[in-house]
Amino acid sequence: MAQESLKSTKAEERLRQLIGEWIIGVAMKTREGKVAAGCGEMIAERTESGINCEIDSHIEGYEDYYQNDLWTFDPADEAVHLFRLSSDGQPQDHTGKWLDDSTIELYWRGTFEDQEQEEHITIKWVTKDQFEIKEKNYSKGKLLLTTDYVFKRKALSEQTQQNPSQFIDGRLHFGA
């Protein structure tokens, strides 16, 4: 029982790394090969039930996107939950696990725009002040969209606020 409590505490502590203000670089690639870059901000705060994140992003060629995420950890099955509500009102409950001390994998399956879809998300902390997300969206087993995000803690990113991201040679670069 004590070891289970220790695991829970460590997992929740790792999730608390999200707390703070972040600058976001975004690169999207559609199945047709169209690439769009963007930027945004995230504010994450601790709540009684987990961590609440508010995201505001702007991607070239797309409407501005707002999202509210609630992150929680369920010690009973050691599952990480990401409850998401997007700009279009679409609720999603991504569920997954910590793979190691710096990586989470999450999955969601449901209906979006009258189509069955799946979303696979991998989150990897590079440092305590930077993490990266790779999000892949599928419909009927076919890849629709891949989105790469780089989050940098705002206090460390002041110099990149004028030009937070640029997509070069298939990689997302900050301040390029």
> Which residue would you say has higher pLDDT here, 45 or 161?
45
pLDDT tens for residues 82-133? 999 988 788 899 999 999 999 999 999 998 778 899 999 999 999 999 999 9
User: Higher model confidence: residue 134 or residue 49?
Assistant: 134
* Token pair for 66: 């707002």
- What is the token pair recorded at 136? 């892949």
Domain CATH code at residue 23 = 2.40.128.20
pLDDT at 118: 95
pLDDT for residue 147 is more than 50: yes
The DSSP call for residue 154 is G
What gap in Å lies between CA 81 and CA 51, rounded to an integer? 11
- In whole angstroms, give the CA distance from residue 154 to residue 8: 28
Residue 166 belongs to domain spanning: 2-173
Structurally, how many domains does the chain consist of? 1
**pTM over the 0.85 mark:** no
**d(Cα 12, Cα 80) in Å, to the nearest integer?**
9
